[in-house]
Each structure stands twice: as C-alpha cells, then as structure tokens.
Chains A and B, each alone.
Chain A
Amino acid sequence: MMRSEPKVPWSDRLQHTLARLRSLFHRETLDAELNAELESHIEMAIEEKQRQGFNPEEARRQTMIQLGGVEQTRQKQREARGLPWLEILISDLRYTMRTLRRDRSFAVVAVLILALGIGANIAVFSVVNTLMLRPLPLYDPGRLVWIAPPDANGLSSMTYSADAYDDLRLMNTSYTDVTAYYAFSAPDNLRLSGHGEPSPLTGIGVTSNFFHVLGVDPILGRSFTESEAVKGAPNVILLTYPYWKRQFGGDRSIVGKAITLDGKPTTVVGVLPESFDFGSIFSPGAKVDAFAPTILDDIRTQGNTLAMIGRMKPGVTVAQTQAEAKTLFRRFYWSKRDPLSQGGYSAHPTLLKDYVSGKLRRSLIVLWCAVGLILVIVCVNLSNLLLARSAARSKEFALRSALGAGRSRLIRQLLTESLVLSCAGAAGGLLLAYLITFYLSHQSSIALPLLNSIRIDAAALGWTLAITIGSTLLFGLLPGWKTATGNLQEALKDTGQGMSDGRKHEGLRSALVISEVALACVLLIGAGLLLRSFLHVIDIDLGYQPSTAAAIKLDYDDQMNIAKQTEFFRETVRRAQAIPGVEAAGLSDNLPLERNRGWGGPAVKGKTYRPGEIQDAFVYVVSPGYLPAMGMRLRGRDFGWQDDDKGDSTIILNETAAHALWPNEDAVGKMAVLGKTDVRVIGVIQDVHETNVEGKPSWQMYLPVMRSEWGASGATLVVRTKLPPAQLASSVMHTLREMNPKQSAVEFRPLQRTVDHAVSPRRFFMLLVSIFAGLGLILASLGIYGVISYSVTRRTQEIGIRMALGATPERVQRAILSQTLRMALMGIAVGLVASFAVAGLIASLLFGTKPTDPGTFAAMATILILVAGFAGYLPARRASRINPMVALRNE
C-alpha cells in the first residue's frame, strides 16, 4: 500500500503547532533574526555576482530578482512560522477593543442588556436543572418510587397504616425493600434539655430501614438497626448535619452519647450527611432536626400515618409496580384487628422524582420559556443597536472594503465584535446568575423542593456557552450581512443623511422593533395572568383571619391527669386573655397549613355504614376560645370549659362535613358517632384550608381538649391581637413562664407567615415572570426609542425644511408620535394574537382567571401603548425643537 503522504506522527504535529503558537509571542526577535539573515544572504549573493563580473548595481538587481523580493520573503516566512488565522483573530480583537472603547456608551449598554438576558437565563436554567433535570441527591434515585393512592390529594390521603406497610413489605415482588416515614409529625415536636435553655426541635419518625433504602450513609456513626424499632428498645436518634452543627457545634464525640429529649435519655447513634435534606425532598421549606425510629406497634391503632417509598428491584419498571399495586393493595387491612377493614386501599406508585417536582414541571417550563423570550428580545434589541451602529459605520466599512478588505473579512470583523460583546455579557451574566442562585439557595421561606441545592454547575456553564454562541450568531449575523452586502459606492457617497440606504435600514429596524413589542406583549400578558391568579389566591377566604393572629407553642407536663391538665390550660388561656392588647386567646393542638392529620370521621347516629364508607376528617383538638381567636365564623356555640368528662361529649364540624352528613338540615344539635363515642354537634364552623391554600377543604372536626378520650398532641396558644406580635412576645412569654418555668424559648409567630409560606411557590413564579415581563417592557421601549430617535436625527434637515415651510412644532411632534404608535400597535396586534395562542398553555397554572381574561389583555395592551408613547415622545419633543435655520445651515 502506498500512502498519499509520508506519515508524520501526531506528537510531531502537536509540537509543530505549539512551535507556531510560540512564534506569535516572539514576533520582534524572529523578525530581527530573519532581517539579519536576509541581509547576509543579499551581501553574499551580491559579492558572488560581482566576482562573476557584474557591476554592483546589476549584481544587486539580479540578487533581488532571484530572492523574489525582501518583503515577500518576510511575509512567506511569517506565514510559515505562525498561525495566520489566529493572527487575524487577534488583530480583529484589537480592532474591536479600539472601536468599542471609542463607542463606550454603546458597549456598556450592550453588555448590560446581554448580562441581564444571559444572567436570567443561567439562573432559571439552574433552577430548572435542579428541580427537573438533575437526579435527586439520593443513591440511584431512578429506582425509588413514591407509593400513594392514584387520586392522592393532600397528605392525609397519601398515607397507609402500619399493617398495610407490613403486608406490602411481605407480599410485594417489585421492590428490594419498602420504607416509610411518619407523615404527621408536628414541627418542634421534641424538646432538648440539658444543653442550656430547653429548646424545641423537629424530629421525624422513620422505619428502621429508611436510610438504607434511600441510600443515605451517616457521616458519623450508623443508621438505625431493626432492634431499635421494637417496643421497649432504648431511645436512639440520628441528627441532621445542620442541627448537629448548630446545637452541638459539630462535636464528633456526641455520637454514642445520650442527650435528654422530652426528659428521656436518648442515644445519638449518628449524624447524617450535609447533602441529605429531608425537608427539601419530602416537605419543601420544612426544617428537620433529627430522626427517630418509628415503632410500628405504637402506631398500629393510629390509622393511616405512614408515607411509603419503595426501591424497585433491578429490571422492574414503574408500570410493573403499578400493575402489581392494582391487585395487591386491595388485600391490605386498615387494621388487622378489624377483619372488615380490608379492601379500602389502592396505590399508584410513581417515580419519587416525579412526585417531588412533577407538580412544578409546567411552572418551570413556563418560566423557562419566559426567560428564553427575554433572551430573544435582548438579541433583537442588540441586533437593532448594532444595525444602527453599522449604519453609522457604513462609510468606515466602505473605506476598508475599498482598501481591499474582503467581504468575509468584514463579516468576520463584525462577528468578532458581537462575540466580544456577548463574552463580556456572559461574564456579567454569570456573576448575576451566581448572585441570584446564591440568594435562592438561602431562601428557606420559599416552599420549593430542593431549593437549597440550587447552584451553577457544569450543565449551567455549558448552557451559558451555548446561549452565548447562539446569541452571537443571532444578533451579529443580521447587521453583519446587511453591512457587508451594502453597495460600496453608494455607501461612500451617502453622507449619512441621504434617503436610499438609510430608509432600507430603517424598514428592517422597524420590523425588529415590532417583533420586540410583540414578544414583550406576550410576556406581559402571561405575567398579568399569573399576577391576577396570585391576587385571587391571596384573596381566598382561608376560613380564618391570619393577619391579626399569632401563635406560640406551649410546653406542659403531659403526664398530668385530664382534670389537672384542663385546669392548666384554662388558667393559661385566662392569663393570656388578660394581657393588654389581646382580644381573644385559645389553644389548639395544631394549626391550619402546618401539618397533616386524619382521623376516622363522624357518622350520623343510627345510620349503618359499609366498611370504608366513613370518611376521614381533619382533627383539631381545641380549647374554648380557640375559634374566636382564629377569627372564624361559628354557627351554634363554642366549646365551654364545662364540656369536659362530666358532661356530654361534644363536637364542632365544618360546613363541608355538616352538609355531607345532614344535607338538608341544620347539623347543630344533631347526634353523631365518632368511633364508638356518641357526640353532640354543638356548632358548625366555616371551612378552613387545612393543608393548602388552593385546594378544596375536606371534612374537619373540632374536639374539646377537656375530654379524656381525644388526647391532644401538644398545644399551641393562639392569640388575636391588633398589635404587632413582636410587641406582645415578651409579655406572652412571661405569662407562659409563670405557668410553667420549663417553657422553652420558642418564637411567638404571626399566623400570616404560615400562609405566606404556603403561597410562596406561586409568589415566586409570579414574581419571576413579572420581572421578566418588566425587563421585556424596558427593552422594547429602549428599542422603540432607539429607532425613532435615530430616524429623527437622520431627518433633521427634512424636518427643518418642513418647519421652514410652515409646519408647526405640534404637527412635527404629532407626525413622529403617530409613527411610533403605528409601530407599537402593529407589535401589540401581533402580540395579542400570539398571546391568545399561548395563553392556553398556562391555563393550568392560573387560579380563578381565564387564560383569555379580557381585563388582563386590555390592561397590558394599554401599558404597552403608554410606554411606547413615552419612548416616542422624547425624540418627538426633540424634533419639535429643531431650529430650521440651524438644521439647514448644517448642510
């Protein structure tokens, strides 16, 4: 076989390229050396020629002919030793820097606009990447499934009983293992003592295999063993990383030692890694401090309390687990003590990742689209700026072209300029995005999953690179092509105030501005619809008045008998009510929007029910005074302290439950059965949004804390006051310490905060889209201003002539304003049609607002017209002040 060329090893090629690259940095030395060499060459040649008999002049001439020219030789040698394309690039870059320095305001505006566009894009991409694209921070998360009923709505219908959990572990064939956590832990449910002032912490109960199934290894110590999750086992606890750092200063020796929790010695068996944040995955925004093993035998009678997660066996698909669940779950018991409780369960396992971020998918996509639109607007705007600049520079380019620069060379020059701009923009954008993501990842008040792990990673950097290059091409190519294809002669003749070329440019620029306005219109309408939805959401009647109420968690000795406990509660409420500024006070064992809880609901006395027919109800175990303290409207009467074990058992139902039980009658005064107890309905109260703001309230019941059969799980004091909670905090704490010196120092927090937290994802998305829309509006008006202002400058003479011929300043102004509005109206028309088409896509994100809401459409169109009018008014005013004499003299 004969090769086409002798082979040169790649290492040699690389060495050669490096040598050529090196030569770029030693230009002067290399040139000097070549000059010396050529000098000696020429002298030697002349000498030889003279020896051959030529006269000195002829010898020199011949030598030069044979050499082929000194300059040419130098040029060839330079090309051979260097990298010509790189040298051109470098000279282009130098030239670019020079021109941009000359046009500093243009460069600054362009880089700023780009930095905003690119920064917003990277930040949003980082959010999307974390929430939607990146796998969960668990071992092999693609095999973890969330096991919940198909129509799960709210946590209480997502959970299973301990018996069902045991059966699923025994009978399934799909999972290597199934784990669960106790889904109804209240915040601050434990109390640490012995380490300074007693302080509350939030502990979550998990089955002993929880961390094993999720694939989370403690960084210190170990996770739970099976023997620690049985009755009578010594108390153990695992600490989360932040709590370990905060409470124990990261003391490694704490592992293996006992701490005092709720008065009981509890051994710390390990510390979890920093990367594991239970709240961010399972309960966004919640802070979890510790985990304890859930003893299944303790919760067997509590009903549906376990949220289950399964790890699929290798090769098993989600569809297979779903198929298995269809037949398997029907065989499970709510409680095996009651043979009739079989058959109530169903399940539809989904990938854990989909459960965590599935609800957000559409919001994220909308956000992504919005930010993409911003980038397009940014690019159109820059294209416009560059086009205006290139119009002003057409003479410069014509001159360069006349001096021999090829068309491709000119386009390359323009592209280099846009590349430099977008690189600077990308650098600024990266900085901006870094700040935004840093801010977001430290926001615990936004209830979005995984928010704390948002950061700019390799994918985000790749994304930056892609959009930078993309935007370069997008906004550099149009003016580049436009300039380079311009007519050379015309450009040289054109004084910049002529008609022909300028007008062509202007047509293109108007088209760009119209598309900008249209895009901004789409963004504005989208943002308007989301804003309107948000206003509807915060306008929802929650069933209570959070704005003038505050709550504090109460510590008390739960070993007291019911009479003593009632007396303690009664005295606490009485003293709280006596604090100046307090209008009402009461206790409840949980508050709306804070946690989840479902008990078997009430039934009509005397009616027979099939198994599973009695609906679960959300429970509040409350003291007298709680309902007025919450600002709830009640029909019938509130509990009184006399509704204790000595009197009749009483209950208050919400409207939904009351109406379902007695559809056509007043429920007040009726008898119901709760479990096996007869209870009298003494009042019917407004529905409360118990677990989320936007959903429909389900059955709720209120039971008196004074009766022994209910058993409150803790107590929170709610106080109604018109004063700011901070002002009352110390007197409330003082009162509680009087009652119980062991009261821990917990916050007296306004209820409104809980509501804000619950609506925070919607607020977050609405805010972001609104910011983008505002940005789009500014950019569009900048575009309008640029075009009109440029056209006024270009037509100064024409306007001067008109005014000299008798046109009034008002008339000139009107003409220019109408030109502006024509452009804006065209953009808005296109934008309205486009919005009509895309509004349907965000329909599912709206609340109480139609995607074609005419009010929003009209409002946003009006805003755009006003802003466009203002952007056109500034140059119009300038035009009307043109002095005809000055304008004409400038010829």
Chain B
Amino acid sequence: MGDNKLDLLQGTLDLMVLQTLAAMGEMHGYGIARRIEQVSGNEVLLNQGTIYAALVRLQQRSWISAAWGASENNRRAKFYTITRRGQKQLEQDTAYWTRLSGVMSRVLAMGEKESS
C-alpha cells in the first residue's frame, strides 16, 4: 500500500535518475520510472509523472541529454543519456549521499547499541 511506501526526499529523485542512466545507458522516461520502481523493490512512492519534472530539470542543467528514437517495440520515444557533466555531478552527489547515510546510520545506531 501507498501508506507504507517511502516519501521521496527533495532532490533524491534527480540522483536516482542520474544513477539509473549511468548504470543502464540510454533509456526513455517510462523505462527509467519502471527501473527505479524495480530496483527500489516497489518501496518508493513514485507518481511516474514526477519523473518528467526531474528529467526536464536535469536536461536544463545539461546533466543529461535527450533525443528521439525508436523503442524496442518500434515506438517513437524520447531517449535520455547522461552527459559528462552529469557524470561528474553524479560522483559528487553519490559521495555526499554515501557520507550522509553513513553518518545517519551511525547516529541512529548509537541508541540501539545502548539499549541492547
């Protein structure tokens, strides 16, 4: 149910999109949305529509680029690729998130150790 799903933190969706493109190469919007859902094990509350706001934002920052092409079923679709600048940004953001989550888990673990 939606109630149990995680609300996305501000800015995390952009990072997820970047990472997906970096890992999977060229993808269209629907593919990215599906991929994120799959990887997150359907734990993320994602209106697939919000992906398009993220995509246009990343495009305006020149972190990804887009081109029309044909999908696997020969449908017209817009395909996105990560750019060089996007790669650099992704590295920075990844480092940041890793540090942040490390710190967060250490801080949160502190209480557990004491109680156990």
Binding site for B on A (CB under 8 A): 2-3, 5-7, 12, 15-16, 19-20, 23, 33-34, 36-38, 40-41, 43-45, 47-48, 66-70, 72-73, 76-77, 79-81
Across the two chains, which residue of chain B brings its CB closest to A41?
B30
Q: List 27 A-B contacts (CB under 8 A).
A: A2-B100, A3-B96, A23-B60, A34-B52, A40-B28, A40-B30, A40-B71, A40-B78, A41-B48, A43-B75, A44-B28, A44-B30, A48-B34, A66-B48, A68-B47, A68-B48, A68-B49, A68-B50, A72-B47, A73-B52, A76-B52, A76-B53, A77-B56, A80-B53, A80-B57, A81-B53, A81-B56
Q: Which residue of A15, A44, A81 has the most chain B CB atoms within 10 A of its CB atom? A: A44
* Structural contact, B57 and A81, CB atoms closer than 8 A: yes
Chain A min CB distance to B86 (Å):
12
* Structural contact, B53 and A79, CB atoms closer than 8 A: yes
Decide yes or no whether B92 CB sits under 8 A from chain A. Answer: yes
| A-side contacts of B53, CB under 8 Å | 73, 76-77, 79-81
* Structural contact, B56 and A2, CB atoms closer than 8 A: no
Chain B min CB distance to A125 (Å):
44
Q: Say what secondary structure dominates the interface of chain B.
A: helix
| B-side contacts of A37, CB under 8 Å | 29, 52, 77-78
| Total A-B residue contacts, Cβ distance less than 8 Å | 84
CA distance A36 to B75 in the complex (A): 11
| A-side contacts of B29, CB under 8 Å | 37, 41
Leading 4 A-B pairs by shortest Cβ distance: A68-B47, A73-B49, A19-B60, A80-B53
| A-side contacts of B49, CB under 8 Å | 67-70, 72-73, 76
Decide yes or no whether B62 CB sits under 8 A from chain A. Answer: yes
* Structural contact, A2 and B57, CB atoms closer than 8 A: no
| B-side contacts of A19, CB under 8 Å | 60-61
Chain A min CB distance to B11 (Å):
8
CA distance A5 to B28 in the complex (A): 28
Decide yes or no whether B76 CB sits under 8 A from chain A. Answer: yes
Decide yes or no whether B115 CB sits under 8 A from chain A. Answer: no
Number of B residues near A (Cβ < 8 Å) is: 29
CA distance A47 to B50 in the complex (A): 21
Across the two chains, which residue of chain A brings its CB closest to B52?
A77
Contact residues of B between 52 and 111, Cβ < 8 Å to A: 52-54, 56-57, 60-62, 71, 73, 75-78, 92-93, 96, 99-100, 103
Across the two chains, which residue of chain B brings its CB closest to A40?
B77
Chain A min CB distance to B69 (Å):
11
* Structural contact, B60 and A16, CB atoms closer than 8 A: yes
* A6-B96, A15-B62 given; A45·B30 CB < 8 A: yes
Chain B min CB distance to A38 (Å):
7
* A6-B93, A81-B56 given; A33·B62 CB < 8 A: no
* Structural contact, A40 and B48, CB atoms closer than 8 A: no
Chain B min CB distance to A867 (Å):
61
* Structural contact, B60 and A81, CB atoms closer than 8 A: yes
Across the two chains, which residue of chain A brings its CB closest to B63?
A12
| B-side contacts of A43, CB under 8 Å | 75
CA distance A535 to B62 in the complex (A): 75
| A-side contacts of B28, CB under 8 Å | 40-41, 44
CA distance A7 to B89 in the complex (A): 9
Q: Which residue of A34, A36, A41 has the most chain B CB atoms within 10 A of its CB atom? A: A41
Chain B min CB distance to A10 (Å):
13
Q: Which residue of B11, B34, B49, B100 has the most chain A CB atoms within 10 A of its CB atom? A: B49
| B-side contacts of A79, CB under 8 Å | 53
Contact residues of B between 13 and 55, Cβ < 8 Å to A: 28-30, 34, 47-50, 52-54
| B-side contacts of A70, CB under 8 Å | 49
| B-side contacts of A36, CB under 8 Å | 76, 78
Cross-interface CB contact of A44 among B73, B93, B103, cutoff 8 Å: B73
* Structural contact, A44 and B77, CB atoms closer than 8 A: yes
Across the two chains, which residue of chain A brings its CB closest to B73?
A47
CA distance A45 to B53 in the complex (A): 19
Across the two chains, which residue of chain B brings its CB closest to A17?
B60
Chain B min CB distance to A31 (Å):
12
CA distance A7 to B100 in the complex (A): 14
